[in-house]
Structure 1
Amino acid sequence: MDDRLGEISAYKVPKSIRLTEFREELYETEKGVFILKYPILSAGDLAEISRTVQENRDRYLAGLSISDIVAKIDLAVQQWLNPDYRLRKIAEILIPRITGYDSEMVRLELKRYIRMFRKKELLRFLDEEFDQPAMLDEFRPRKTGGMSKAFGPRSIFHVFSGNVPGVQIWSLIMGLLLKSANIGKTSTAEPLFPVLFAETLTEVDPLLAESIAILPWKGGTKDLEEQAIAAAEAVIVYGSNTTVEKVRELVPFGKKFLNYGHKISLGLIGKEALTADYYFDTIHKLAEDVSVYDQQSCLSPQTVLVEEGGAVSPKQFAQMLAAELERYHKKRPRAKLAAEEALSIQKVRNHYHLESLSGDGVSVFASQIDSAWTVIYHPEPGMEGSPLNRTIHVFSSQSLEVDFEKIMPYQDYLQSCGLAVAPVRLFQIAELLGTLGVNRIAPIGEMNRAKPGWHHDGGFNLLDLVKFTDIERNLEQDLERYDPDVE
């Protein structure tokens, strides 16, 4: 990149669409000055865009085979795996500037994330949900007789969150695999990556990309959201519970509606992971789980239960975790916070500082200069949500299996669990976690890296959006008599 002024469209629409009103935001970076150009949309604009992407989908995307779609997505992904790719360089420069996240963190995590959508991973994703992915192309025979075909929505309206860069393309790719037209509403917190990825799809196959629109507008703009929802056959919403409920109110009964709202994840550390050989590695990996994207992902742990009986006690674990978070902060600093976010952390710190004075064993280990990281140690088992931004509760546990009842008050919000125990304990603990609603159990150090095909919030990704049409076996047999060549 050079230092010349660069203008970048923070939106993507079919080439036949002509938008006339725009606003601009300027970003100064070490690689130069960039202007992000945002359209000012009306309900009429959105109606035309919705109609156009659906017509483009009908003409081209709907007729592609699932294998062709996978191959085209893979070509786009391969572009992003090239460090010298122009759009990747733009992302690595601008996304840290827009979000405040550490630039090296963004570079590493985007690279890791995009690899999830290579051809082999997409094929695994499809095979996980469909016995025969070709059911998305044609009627296929069923084992019980008859034939079935899966039909994706003609169009999907996606409400993207912006707390974690890159995750928006999960939903977008899901829509493409279902041969749906896609309109994505981006967040002001991170409006760029889905636009850049859609531009890569344009480079790979312009006709495919003509069935995609990526648009920014302020959340809660009722006339735009009503228009987008009315034009779509399915709606997918990512964000806070408030965002989910506001959109849900606008979705008519009977229209497919998937939502991914507020969730809490936790870690469980058994004494086997705290031997002299393993405790430092366990702490190092947990610190990374807490630090990546500053806990903004629902996959990041907010609480960890640490079992007694290891080479380090739970309190020592908390102290060492604090030291590791400090090291991580020096390497990859946390984003600057809004005043309200910093105040939330300070309130939590003050509350537990007061508790620590009562002599009940609570301790607070915190960064001294600012609110960069906070570890709160509790001498009894339990669970608690945190104000995020590298703030974590460490609870002491005599036995993880026995102390599960302390997690129960949070079961409606549980998402992922990072687990480090002996293999013999895996299935008993997994059974207990499953009864509480945890839908993903991962290694410590990998909590923010869900694999393709995981059951997001316990459901399916593609199957929950399709409709099946069945041809019954006896109909096939009955129609044989109308064959003029039958004997």
Structure 2
Amino acid sequence: MDREEGAVGWASRESAAEPPVYPAYAVPRGIIFDGFTERRLETSEGTVILSFPILSRSKIEEIAAKVTMNRIAYLAGLRTGEIVDVIDAAVQLWTNPDYELRRKAESWLPALTGYDRDMIRLELKRFMRLFRRKELLRFLEEELDSSAVLDEFRPRRTGGMGRAYGPELIYQVGSGNVPGLPVWSLVMGLLVKSAILSKTASSEPVMAVLFTESLRQIDPKLADSIAVLPWKGGSLDLEAPAMEAAEVVVAYGSDEAVRQIRSRLPEYKRLVSYGHKISFAMVGREALTPDRYQDTVHRLAQDVSTYDQQSCLSPHSVFVESGGSVPPQLFAQLLAAELQRFQLRKPRAAVTREEAQAIHALRNQYELAALNGAGTAVYGSKQGTEWTVIYHPSGEMQASPLNRTVHVIGCLSLEETIPAMPLHRRYSQSVGIAVGPARLQRLAGCLGAAGINRICAVGQMTRTPAGWHHDGRYNLLDLLRWTDMEWSAEQGAELYDPDME
């Protein structure tokens, strides 16, 4: 990419003497920066340098105005089907293992996040397929019945006509715990024909940039309605103009980060936030028969290991029912062994000193409880904190310090654990469930009433389908405003038809 003018190329400097320099930002054509800082990255394909623009309040204001103007000039005039086709064409590029930007993502993301390369390759491939044409159409129909309501006034069941409008500009505050998550926000914004100003996380500043570049390869005018910029969280001088320019703010992050944004946002502006959530799993005796328990353990270990539980969809606890061929404590031991196998194949990312201390503290707490006759047991990796399984003979859902640390809680029946779940309603997210069909509907109904908003199979907890209700809400509808044209307006217009008698 040219380092003075946005989005006119990809690599800005590449020679035998110096590593290539790539932008860790995406802006519309015509945007010029006064300076840059650089970050050296050692990847599996060699050394690269990521370039970060030096930003100011006036530059944020300029970029916000530019993407908004470009939206009015082009994006707002597209039909939803045309936008879907552009996104699908970009995603089709990513289905090719040799696609340049996919190869860069698979090389850069492990170096930036510490996650295993094979894990990123597999999960990123699955994630990008959520945005193929058929999935986007299914997603639109799930929320809107007809996507035409984004293009024109359509008849309403109650009479009259209605049309939905997306915000002129959405300011998105990304999270870096799960690679690719900012792409979800970009796609949602484009589907409602909004200009987008996306702030990336310092721990993962490239995936939104790479995807925007893919869109640019398909439709440069559409990509000119997107700006992806990196700056340090809490930089009020940069966040303020972004909030002032945006009609809606979409924020991912901790509860405290979301609270800070809410406190600075004017009351007349909307905040769509996704804060701290925790998930858990439930394993019934039907999944613990001699021919099924090994697969059940493997699937659960996969849910725990994927992105080291950093996703809000990852299980913190698993309730294991007594009465199967494998009792709950043996299940905990088997899960520990399977996590060790995952560690050998797909090693956990390095953790900070504080994260390691939190895991050691948890282990010490329950080892001491075991000595005092509580019936608990701790199974942990021998050389460090790579994985930990805490066994409880009974009890309620427990939170985890993450990084492949999970609680296994025994119970006489899964049903008996549900009454305590409303106590955790504020933070409850997904449940991975392994039971037979005779119990699934009844358990699902009880879980929904207790505040759970997603129920899926064990092994699929971190892999959401298109159209899922994030945090139990709609995705597109939370962004839209509506205009109703009542029947009286239609009838009144007939009075002024010169051919009307």
Q: Distance in 1 between matches of 2:482 and 2:398?
A: 42
Residues 1:246 and 2:260 aligned together: yes
- Supply the AA of the counterpart residue of 2:410: S
Paired residue for 2:27?
Answer: 13
The DSSP-based 3-state class of the residue aligned with 2:478 is: coil
Q: Distance in 2 between matches of 1:6 and 1:406?
A: 55
- Supply the AA of the counterpart residue of 1:245: R
Matching residue within 206, 209, 213 for 1:195: 209
The DSSP-based 3-state class of the residue aligned with 1:430 is: helix
Q: Residue 359 of structure 1: CA displacement?
A: 1.8
Q: State, as a whole percentage, how many aligned pairs show the same letter.
A: 53
Q: Distance in 1 between matches of 2:436 and 2:212?
A: 44
Paired residue for 2:187?
Answer: 173
Q: Distance in 1 between matches of 2:165 and 2:210?
A: 28
- C-alpha change, 1:325 and 1:144, in structure 2 (3 Å) is same
Residues 1:379 and 2:393 aligned together: yes
Q: Distance in 1 between matches of 2:15 and 2:55?
A: 31
- 1:433-476 deviation per Cα after TM superposition (whole angstroms, max 9, x unaligned): 11221110010000000111111111110111111111111221
Paired residue for 2:87?
Answer: 73
Q: Retained in 1: the 8 A contact 2:418–2:450?
A: no
Residues 1:305 and 2:299 aligned together: no
**Residues 129-278 of structure 1: pairs in structure 2 closer than 5 A:** 129-278=143-292
Paired residue for 1:426?
Answer: 440
Q: Distance in 2 between matches of 1:271 and 1:251?
A: 49
- Supply the AA of the counterpart residue of 2:371: L
Matching residue within 32, 48, 55 for 2:46: 32
Q: Retained in 2: the 8 A contact 1:31–1:93?
A: yes
Q: Distance in 1 between matches of 2:42 and 2:137?
A: 41
Runs of 5+ consecutive residues of structure 1 not aligned to the other structure: none
Q: Distance in 2 between matches of 1:325 and 1:29?
A: 26
- Supply the AA of the counterpart residue of 1:136: L
Matching residue within 326, 330, 347 for 2:344: 330
Paired residue for 1:320?
Answer: 334
**Residues 337-376 of structure 1: pairs in structure 2 closer than 5 A:** 337-376=351-390
Q: Distance in 2 between matches of 1:285 and 1:106?
A: 18
- 1:40-72 deviation per Cα after TM superposition (whole angstroms, max 9, x unaligned): 210100000000000000000000000000000
Runs of 5+ consecutive residues of structure 2 not aligned to the other structure: 1-10
Paired residue for 1:64?
Answer: 78
Runs of 4+ in 1 over 6 A off after TM superposition: none
Paired residue for 1:279?
Answer: 293
- Supply the AA of the counterpart residue of 1:21: G
Paired residue for 2:474?
Answer: 460
Q: Distance in 1 between matches of 2:445 and 2:237?
A: 46
Q: Distance in 2 between matches of 1:247 and 1:39?
A: 23
The DSSP-based 3-state class of the residue aligned with 2:391 is: strand
Paired residue for 2:60?
Answer: 46
Q: Residue 3 of structure 1: CA displacement?
A: 9.5
Q: Residue 259 of structure 1: CA displacement?
A: 0.3
Residues 1:102 and 2:99 aligned together: no
Q: Distance in 2 between matches of 1:406 and 1:363?
A: 23
- Supply the AA of the counterpart residue of 1:216: P
TM-align CA RMSD: 1.2
Residues 1:55 and 2:65 aligned together: no
Q: Distance in 2 between matches of 1:483 and 1:122?
A: 40
- 1:242-271 deviation per Cα after TM superposition (whole angstroms, max 9, x unaligned): 111111111111211100000000001111
- 1:364-400 deviation per Cα after TM superposition (whole angstroms, max 9, x unaligned): 0000001000000000131110000000000001111
- Supply the AA of the counterpart residue of 2:419: E
The DSSP-based 3-state class of the residue aligned with 1:91 is: helix
Q: Distance in 1 between matches of 2:241 and 2:114?
A: 32
